[in-house]
Amino acid sequence: MALGSFLRCLIVSTFAVLGASAAAGTYQQVINFGTNPTNVGMYVYRPPNVAASPALVVGIHWCSGTAQAFYQGTQFANFADQYGYIVIYPHAPDSGGCWDVHSAATLKHDAGGDSLGIASMVRYAIANYKVDPNRVFAVGTSSGAMMTEVLVGAYPDLFKAGSANAGVPYACFSGPDMWNSACSTGTLTKTAQQWGDLVRNGYPGYTGGRPRMQIWHGTQDEVLNYNNFNEAIKQWTNVFGYSTTPTSTQQNSPLSGWSRYTYGPNFQAISAAGVPHNIPLQDTEVLKWFGIIGGGSTTSAPTTGPTTTPPTSTTTANPAQQTQWGQCGGIGWTGPTTCVAPYNCVVNNPWYSQCL
């Protein structure tokens, strides 16, 4: 499940110059922060001028990534210098750098798994850094996006909003194994009610407010099929009691060819036409969604054109050979198993091989 190799290459090439190298604060590891059954690592960035009651952003890396890579490859630390919030960068304990988004424990409030370790980090930050409990947010990419949706579903009492980039619906990977082929290939479908019930079952008896949710997905995602975007729309609209028909649509937002669908003040979904799994993370837009940067945190996006439904997947048949960085093997993989020259199919783990 080394999904993040795609994203690691993207971040190195696209964001390295713009990343946290210029951040002026302190990045350090924190230990003994609370209940942590799977030994998730906690790294914290504190800007030079922390706000009196700062917001908290939890930035969650991709599979095969690290806390350090997410810190260096995104703008969240630099923006923290400007806006005074604190960033937590969890580090996955799995040897492949992937998050536990499948176990019964991690999908249940305070039951265990990687999600409980991250929840403990948030509680520690609220208690020790004077974090405003009403401004706690999660953002992640790929496996980190999956964990973002797990946290938003299982810990609605801790998080106020989430932003998931190239992920899957909450509990889509549920099962005994780290990798779920039915979910990844987009063949796992449920009704909106069934998807919504999975979120509600993450914290049985919870009656409080639900965190606002934002999802991003490329129509040509070759690792986590675009159908997961449509399934996630069914899930979160059900959680919030919205129609699956968007109330407004913005074309070319925030980039040319991307479409922003708003379903209500608490949920929006952005479809990136022609974009593969390594969808570029839009740091500024995420911070707007969180309300840290002005422009879109509390109200629906304005209608700039006729309301439309999200496009259906345009994924085409697999080519005879995989291109550089593409998946070329693994449990459940049915695509190409040879790579274009001069690349070779390299096994990362039983679930994932890649053309390198």
Catalytic annotation, residues: 142
The C-alpha atoms of residue 205 and residue 214 are separated, in whole angstroms, by 24
Distances (CA, A) of 173 to 47, 202, 263, 332: 36, 14, 25, 14
The C-alpha atoms of residue 298 and residue 334 are separated, in whole angstroms, by 43
The C-alpha atoms of residue 82 and residue 25 are separated, in whole angstroms, by 11
**E strands, the chain, in order:** 26-30, 41-46, 56-60, 86-91, 136-141, 161-165, 212-218, 248-251, 258-264, 267-272, 327-329, 345-349, 352-355
Packed helices 227-240 and 192-201: angle between N→C axes, nearest 10 degrees: 70
Give the three-class secondary structure for 105. Answer: coil
